[in-house]
Amino acid sequence: MAESPDPELSIVVPIYNEEENLDYLFKRLCENLNAIDLTHEIICVNDGSHDNSLAELIRHHQQNPAIKVVNLSRNFGKEIALTAGIDYSQGKAVIPIDADLQDPPELIQDLVAKWKEGYDVVYARRKERQGETWFKRFTANTFYRTIGKMSKVPIPRDTGDFRLMDRRVVEALKQLPERNRFMKGLFAWVGFQQIALEYDRDPRYAGTTKWNYWKLWNFALDGITAFSSVPLKIWSYLGLAVSSLSLIYAIYLVIRTLVSGIDVPGYASLMVAVLFLGGIQLISLGVIGEYLGRIYEEVKGRPLYFVRDAYGFTKPLG
């Protein structure tokens, strides 16, 4: 359908070096959006791409005014790019979707149908993760189950960013100012009436994933530290347990010395004790450091992102 000043549906697409996917992405998106009786906009956030993604996005915008482009000043990361797209969205409902086409645009019609039934959030839960190694699937499942047990907020398993959110949910998200943005957790934290819609995730259409295992590890740390203080509590309890065992062992040594006389200390046992306690202290300091580093990022109060250019927006947006 043609674009309207106040579209009913906003599609948000973070873009980072995805020029190979853009033609097919917009083809499938437009085909499915045109089949829905809702005015729409497609907001693409260029997150500092190094390829021709920006030029391709501008070309598509010139051909289809419903495609709008937010060009960030540099690469800020997917979570921030997604936040920028949500900030710029004007629709009564917003759907984030990845540009690699692993999340099928054909599911948008089902998301909208559930929204019309009265649900505020309709999130897409993956039944199958095609095109991924068993190790990637294993680590993803482990992460979602771990954070689900550690967080006080129930975070749906096997669920990414692909979902539909009512405008009330979007406005609630825009009130959350934190810099350490684990969006899947924030989507769950705001609450509202939510329902799952299951689907099979497709392999990436073209190009290579931007997520290596180091980035995934840091992403997992961000999620855990943003929504759980359990790691801090674990080391508190472990420190208490080690101290208790040390006290018991000290009492044993005193009693043995009184009964049997002075005992020559053994080098091996001494080194084991020192290395063990030293390792415990370093790990606990590392956990504290993870939280302290995130506090440091928050108190600086820097803006989440800067926009260099924007194409297709007629209203002043803050």
Over residues 8-39, the pLDDT tens digits come to: 888 898 888 888 888 888 888 888 888 887 88
At 4 the pLDDT is: 47
Contact 99, 18 (CB under 8 A): yes
Encoding tokens for residue 204?
């990436």
Confidence of residue 209 (pLDDT cuts 50, 70, 90): low
This prediction's pTM? 0.66
DSSP letter (8 states) at residue 268: H
Contact 92, 8 (CB under 8 A): yes
At 3 the pLDDT is: 45
Residue 316 has pLDDT above 50, yes or no: no
Of 102-116, 220-234, 296-310, where does mean pLDDT reach its minimum?
220-234
Of 11-15, 97-101, 184-188, where does mean pLDDT reach its minimum?
184-188
Confidence of residue 53 (pLDDT cuts 50, 70, 90): confident
H helices within the chain, ranges in order?
19-34, 53-63, 78-88, 108-116, 134-150, 167-173, 183-189, 213-227, 230-260, 267-300
Question: What contacts 24+ positions apart, CB below 8 Å, involve 278-281?
Answer: 280/238, 280/239, 280/242
Superfamily of domain 9-211+303-311, CATH level 4:
Spore Coat Polysaccharide Biosynthesis Protein SpsA; Chain A (3.90.550.10)
Domain boundaries, the chain: 9-211+303-311, 230-300
Please compute, for residue 309, the number of CA atoms within 13 A of its CA located in the half-sphere on the CB side.
11
Encoding tokens for residue 168?
């009330």
**3-state SS of 78-97?**
HHHHHHHHHHHCCCCEEEEC
